[in-house]
Amino acid sequence: MAGNGTPAALAGIQLLRCSSAEELERAGIFRNHVFRSRRNVSFSEGLERRRDARGTVFLLLSGEQEVATARVQPFPSEISPVSDLAARFRDSGADTEVGRVAAVRSPDATRYSLLVLTLGAMWLLESTWHRRFVAYCHPKLLPLYQLVGVEVSGEPCEVPGRADLHHVIAGDYTDVASNGLRLLGISQAAAHAAIRWVPPLPGALSPISPTADRSSA
């Protein structure tokens, strides 16, 4: 436990659902730096802005420092590279794509990645109707996704602009949240307190109505 009673895994941690142009730019700068420095990958700024606007971008902070990020966008989508790669999952109930998962180079990088996935899944379950996702991931990230219960599609695939073969995966946000909490050793209440609860941006993911009965979701 941290000094204030917060679990050690959550000490100083806050998950932001980026809700302003400034926060989206902050997440984008961090994302680009991590992908360039760790994987030598660059993105089209215009296309990334379109994808950010159509989806939900998470930014994980430790204190005031950016330590991890991820993006969730509708699936299928004409601006999603997964649409062509994940044909076998089109009838699986997947309604979103998870992508651009990145963490700062640090001894805590795995914990930060697990936190952004776990807390992000909790936000999605409580704030939207979305329940299942597809993604493609670098082989180095596959063990992380398997820890939270994803399904892996057969053979690795080629991704445009990437040198390494990637895996196409699918999963359920409920599994990600429950497995992540267990692996991190934190309670749902403690994790809930680390999330900044703001609704989805207009025109992005499908929000849960304030009057909806969440028990039926």
Question: Is the Cβ–Cβ distance between 23 and 16 less than 8 Å?
Answer: yes
What structural domains and CATH numbers belong to the chain?
A: 8-189 (3.40.630.30)
More confident residue, 140 or 106: 106
**Cα–Cα distance, 191 to 205 (Å, whole number):** 22
More confident residue, 171 or 159: 171
Nearest CA among 8, 179, 84, 66 for reference residue 57: 66
More confident residue, 77 or 27: 27
pLDDT in tens, 174-193: 999 999 999 999 999 999 99
Q: Is the pLDDT of residue 215 over 50?
A: no
Sign of CA pseudo-dihedral 67, 2, 117, 106: positive
Q: Is the pLDDT of residue 84 over 50?
A: yes
All residues at 6 or more sequence positions from 174 whose CB lies less than 8 Å from its CB, including other chains: 121, 125, 131
pLDDT in tens, 119-164: 999 999 999 999 999 888 888 888 989 999 998 876 676 666 666 7
